[in-house]
Structure 1
Amino acid sequence: MQNASRIELYPISQQVHIDGELSANSKQALAYRVLAYQPRHYIYCEDVWVDLVTVSETTTFLPLHIATL
């Protein structure tokens, strides 16, 4: 498949639970997949209950940069 896209970006509905408690609920989240990498789910800030999460040192790496979604 010479013309197959290396990048997949598609909408998803996503819920995130931390210690059994719902901390994010989005019907406008995005799943982003590059080649054989595991998909990354991006949830808009307004869909996250920020009082239930804390800042951490965790980072993610985006293998390719997309200028415009």
Structure 2
Amino acid sequence: MGTRVIIYEKLESGELSKLDERSWSEPLLKSLEHANYITIKEIEYEMVEGRLNIDEEVLEILVIASKKP
């Protein structure tokens, strides 16, 4: 069992859009220490910030698109 992670994209309008939600393994979580960018469905995003939501027991990551598809 891993840690539940939700990735939100901050759109140009300022709104948030949920891109992905899944369970991450410990090694994948540790790799966050070394990465500034993440790829989801072949689109590259810059990781802006993360928030640990204790109430929901989830790590939330905010990203912005670095390249338009």
Bigger Cα Rg: 1
Query: TM-score, length-normalised on structure 2?
Result: 0.34
Query: TM-score, length-normalised on structure 1?
Result: 0.34
Higher strand share: 2
Higher helix share: 2
Does 1 or 2 have the higher relative contact order (CA < 8 Å, sep 6+)? Answer: 2
